Amino acid sequence: MEGIAIIGMAGRFPGAGSVAAFWENLKGGVESITRFDDPELSLKNDGSQRMVNARGILEGAADFDAAFFGIHPREAELMDPQQRVFLECAWEALEHAGYDPARYPGVVGVWAGASLNSYLLYNLCADRDYIARLVGGYQQTGPADFLGNATDFLATRVSYKLNLRGPSMTVQTACSTSLVAVAQACQALLGCQCDLALAGGVSISFPQRRSYPYLEGGMASADGRTRTFDADASGVVFSDGAGCVALKRLADALAEGDQIFAVIRGSAVNNDGAGKASYSAPSPDGQAEVIQLAQALADVPPATVSYVEAHGTATPLGDPIELAGLTQAFRAGGATGHGFCAIGSLKTNVGHLETASGVAALIKTALALHHGQIPPSLHFHAPNPKLGLPGSPFYVNTRLLPWPDSADGTPRRAGVSSFGVGGTNAHAVLEAAPTPEEPAEPSPREGQLFVLSAKSEAALDAASANLARHFDEHPSLDAADAAFTLAMGRAAFSCRRAVAALSLEDAASALKTRDARRVSTQTAARHQPSVAFLFPGQGAQAVNMGTGLYRSEPVFRDSIDRCADLLWSLLDGVDLREVIYPKKGGEATAAAQLGRTRFTQPALFTFGYALARLWISRGVQPAVMLGHSVGEYVAACVAGVFTLEDGLRLVSRRAQLVQNQPGGVMLAVRRSETDLAPLLAAHGADLSLAAVNSPALCVVAGTESAVAAFATLLSDKKVAVRRLQTSHAFHSAMLDPVVEPFARFVRTVPLAPPAIPFVSNVTGRLITDDEATDTQYWARHLRLPVRFADGVGTLLQHAPGSILLELGPGQTLASMARQHPATRDERTVIFSTLQEGRDDAEAALGALGRLWCEGVDIDWPALHGPGRRRVTLPTYPFEKQRYWVEPVKPAPAAASAAASVAPAVLPPMPIASSAPPAPPPARPAGFVPAAADLTADPRAAAARNAWLVPPEAAAAYGDARFGPVLQ
């Protein structure tokens, strides 16, 4: 069969609240069984039976993050904790796999099962009035009670809460439930019923802290330890737990860069039928057949299987039967060797997790394959003599073993068995994940953007701390893969945080310190706010602007290169790249060139255009644009008024015409247009209003002498002024001679109506189609003042709540936009590159992080490019609260009456039969006992033919035809 990849895992186990902690316990040989004293017991011993005070406890079973899943507190209280825990595990398994269910393009299915709902029986139904309401409203009223407590709804609740649209089925086959669920999920994947599957199970019973009666020959351990395959084995300890795995077809997982922990090569399910001693007894033939079928479907020779995770219930009879079935299957498959395959059982560590035992065993085995180590099976000192272990292919592993691939290159392989009361058997054949054929592509980007989100500030802080700690503990993790996994594999909630960093260490440090210059945080992200692009004009240029972007961002670099190639002839053979990015030692010459208008304006157009293409490639589409002077040409080009080629022709011609004019001076004045108007009128044509950048900041331009005199006048009036570093008096009367020549040149360029709205510098309003396609408009634009302040007001009126993003080498426009009264919230103005002390590529990533924190959708696949892989990162830090209904205690009189009727702990109920005893079933056809045949036992004949329990154990049940539960 085609392989099925295990790409994500989640679980809650005794002594381990996560898969990672679970693995550490397994490696260390930790037994996670809780032992407690009588005063702590929920069920008291009346002295009539031997009680064992041991159980595997699931800590926090009553706790749940109801708000995360949108569940009302009262509904959460009435819901079976099994459903609550499994819901959290399902979410964690998807995150562990690196998938956000809301953005996964394929179909996701769910297969899962749970144990008997003892919370309903012990806690809720302790109230007789509740039972009356429940029964009285069955199928008609009280849906929260039924939907939250019937196991039928375990899988479908996951599908509903996570919006999963594939098959959703609750599976129930007793102890084999969760491995059967995995097998069914594999079949659905192979049949293309879904593209990703969640499978698993949960078993939590209440009260958790309780003793159990020991019955000689029964299934429960005599001393609270599970001694699978040991001579002193007396049974199993029952425990609580949950597990869930995320599965995909292997080919898809490899193609999509998933982390693969192990591969399920084959799985099979069958039933014993009637060929066994009783309904609850096991059958070696049934077990052997399901193992053989799984190996055949996997096309795996048994001799290549080097580990088997056994069902391993540690009963004196069940263990020999299981080993007999395994031996039969391996021998039938051609395995002739002895002692080549390790065998163990998770139950020795955590006890029997009942419906969750199969998936827990699968998770253990997948982790062992992934890490190349076989954990020890505990409490094994001498083999049960009935096992026939020396003549079998198996040995019980009792220490942490290295698990390399075989010398001939065969990958590590393992089998996992799970058998259920009632005879439904499941077996899976696993294999180590293949090494990817191609190494991960290196990221061209030196820095990475790491993003986090949560549903509350507290959870966001916890997620940040967890991620920082994970980066510290895993310094060899690929930073680009980690950033990709966070972006693509996590849901985007309203509380968000982003940090641009050059390394994992750098990111961890920033997350710990929460440096506001490095880390963007928003606790109430908006829903897809629009973005407005701002393009600066002359004066914003700088040598080496965008060096980091040119080095690490292919889209930016390709745009710069294309513009430079197109400009080469227009600039008389000067390569603009050598002006912007000079070789070492040539900075002074480049700065002088870049200060000349002929090169300044084409350079600013090129830089703005390259930034626009970069942001658009990341999914940031402008709703409206506003340029300052020559920046409006970039906006018009992006809007499609003219092509890139024609835009470069226009800008270079405009720059050349201006360059040929006499030099002039520009002066920034901290006064409004209204205040300046009478002062300018007194100076005549020598001074012009060149720009209105904010309500209280204007620019005047003119001759050297006129501007100097005006500056002195204003200084005497205590008006703040600042001379700008420009070569000419742009947008002044000094440019009147170039207006008509430029208009003639514009007539040679095709003009089209804008496809994206942008604001006119000339009018301060949205440009009309007629204006954009009017030759005279672009000629007047050269001469008339830049009405930037009016433009900001128009922009914010056209797109209320827009985020203003400056696409230039600084923050000139961002600073001016913040001064506008319509810009009430500083968080809406962002500059995209240079920040003091930071690489511009890192600063641009930081700006992208700010946009995302505000709620802007980002095209993450485009940002990260091909070749990225999903890696294991911390999952969501659920904010759990206790949701619990305490059982109603009976009144003293009622309790006394109840005590007189029955003891506190009832013995197992005898199975009565009015019919005469039936003859035992015939020995299963084709069955071959293990090497140490059971004939050594005095009860050999009965054991061979009927697989009966010892007479003393059967007598306790009142009928020798019914053996104890052995699964």
Where in the sequence numbering do the catalytic residues fall? 175, 311, 352, 629
E-strand spans in 597-712? 622-627, 665-669, 687-694, 697-702
Name the residue among 293, 253, 286, 291 with its Cα closest to residue 272: 286
Farthest-apart Cα atoms in the chain, separation = 125
At 438, the amino acid letter reads E
Please, are residues 794 and 785 in contact by the beta-carbon 8 Å criterion?
no
List, edge to edge, every strand of the sheet that includes 307-309.
168-170, 108-114, 196-203, 241-249, 4-12, 262-271, 424-431, 413-419, 307-309, 341-344, 394-396
Measured between alpha carbons, how far is residue 14 from residues 11, 43, 204, 239 in Å? 10, 20, 11, 7
Distance, CA of 725 to CA of 741 (rounded, Å)? 26
Residues 6+ apart with CB under 8 A from 323: 229, 310, 343, 387, 388, 389, 392, 394, 930
List, edge to edge, every strand of the sheet that includes 687-694.
687-694, 697-702, 665-669, 721-723
Supply the DSSP string of 637-652, one letter for each residue: HHHTSS-HHHHHHHHH
In which element (H, E) is residue 549 found?
A: helix 547-552
HEC profile for 83-102?
Answer: HHHHHHHHHHHHHHHCCCCC
The DSSP output letter for 935 is G
Structural tokens at position 878: 């659920």
Distance, CA of 396 to CA of 376 (rounded, Å)? 9
Supply the DSSP string of 608-621, one letter for each residue: HHHHHHHHHHTT--
Residue 813, classified by CB atoms within 10 Å of its CB into exposed (0-12), middle (13-18) or buried (19+), is buried
| φ/ψ (deg, to 5) at 12 | -130, 125
The rounded radius of gyration (Å) of the Cα atoms in the chain is 37
Please provide the size of the chain in residues: 967
**SS3 state of residue 862:** helix
